[in-house]
Amino acid sequence: MRKISSLLCALITATAIAPPAGALRVVVISDLHLLAPSLQGDAFRSVARRDSKLTECSPAILDAICDTVISLQANLLVITGDLTFNGERDSHLYISNRLQKLRAQGVPSLVIPGNHDINNPYSQDFSGKKAVATATITRAEFAEIYHDFGYGGELEPASLSFVNEPAENIVFIGIDSNTDEKNQLRSRGDAKNLYHTGGAVKAETRAWVTEQITKAKADGKCVVALMHHHLVPHFDREERFLPNYVVKDYRAIAEQWANAGLRTIFTGHLHVTDAATLLQDTDHPLTEIATGSATTFPFYLRIVDINANQQALDVHTRYLGQLTGIDDLQQQGRERLQQALPTLIDRVATRLWKRAEPKLPQIKAYMAFGGGKVNLPDSKQELALLIKRHLSGPLSKALEAFVCGNEPEHHPEDILAEFDQGVEEIAAEIMPTNADALVDFYKETLYPMLAPTIKSVAYDLNNVNSNNPARTDDLSLHLPL
């Protein structure tokens, strides 16, 4: 374990810069999804093969990150939610124990819960040949386990939100955006398992956070917020296409907190490394810095230097390199990410099929109206195979660009051209005698509806249809506080 950590520390610190004099250096990670070694075994191997994360390496990665924090001369480690694989009590205890060791070395930590971490009905033990249920934790137990990591001071009564001042004139506000109180667990006597992943901020919490921001700013202090779900959409219409990733009523909440003085918030949840700015045309812009999963390619962490005197912070992004037993962690992580793509396509195909199936007779009749053969898929499985045959290449490249950040560096024009070629191939397969008509329908009717979101993701822009489309660098930032 120590060899693994030392290797990773060396790879990161080789390119790291020394902390500026007088700055508070913070390492920020997210979505660790750690599964305790005691819960890993034969039953987990098939699960791991279908997952985009290297969860089997999560304990070693956490150990390496903690050693890296020391090597970087950091003053604080922050984890913005989804600490555990699925809320296993043993995984929480493992993390707490490792953070205690880091604390004993002089570096405290702050954590906030994610949607995976509490009241999770899918908490399982994979150590045997078959997965079996294992204990998850309650909200009260989360506060108890992480008492020394944000929950031993001032808490907001209605949620697991806290305020913490790790250095003079620097205030961190941890905001609980989870809805796990609505979860149902058979293990606790409920009729079924029900799991909520979406985010919301309670009215009481919203007011409390506003009060904390106002108070800190009135005292001349820097304020940094932490939350798991997104407060700022990271691409156009994220709140529509991925509603479980953006907190409800996000714009009103963002405006309220920005008016109070909040300028920066760190989040996670979507497993992408991205930065986006809301209210950029006002006197109080709010920038959200989302960090990808610590156990998923490209294994990013953020180095954040906060200067209270200058009322500003600088963000640098680094990645882990190798693990003992894995010659190239980046390549292994990339392969695992791509192995998860078919499962993602299956999910998309299922959603599309659910909407299209009731209308298939009318669709077939319309497409056959001009004569010629029509080869529409007859099931969601066939639809998924159709997408995989013709779009796996560009979707694979787009997925990698999306999780890595700074998408324009990944040749989006080439990816979009390859995607268009795949659409033409699908049209030729569905309507071999009249493919041009189907392509024209896509370009003239379907694409215009999707274009703002596609352009937003491909070119890392927000407000693409406005007079002032905005782009925020995903990996290196200097922001006023």
Which residue has 């907001």 as its token pair?
Answer: 156
pLDDT score of 404: 97
Q: What are phi and psi of 199, to 5 degrees?
A: -120, 150
- DSSP H helices, 87-150, are 89-104, 139-145
Cβ 246 vs Cβ 230: under 8 Å:
yes
pLDDT score of 361: 85
What residue type is assigned to position 143 of the chain? A
What residue type is assigned to position 153 of the chain? G
Query: What residue ranges of the chain are covered by domains with CATH 3.60.21.10?
Result: 2-330
Phi-psi region of 111 (alpha: psi -120 to 50; beta: other; left: phi over 0): beta
Q: Take residue 166 and report the two structure tokens written for it.
A: 């790790």
CA distance 101 to 423: 53
Cβ 470 vs Cβ 277: under 8 Å:
yes
Q: Take residue 378 and report the two structure tokens written for it.
A: 């007859």
Domain 2-330, CATH among 3.30.360.10, 3.60.21.10, 3.40.50.11400, 3.40.50.20? 3.60.21.10
pLDDT score of 11: 44
This prediction has a pTM of 0.93
pLDDT score of 227: 98
What residue type is assigned to position 174 of the chain? G
Cβ 462 vs Cβ 233: under 8 Å:
yes
Cβ 415 vs Cβ 391: under 8 Å:
no
Q: What residue ranges of the chain have pLDDT lower than 50? A: 1-15
Which residue has 């782009």 as its token pair?
Answer: 471
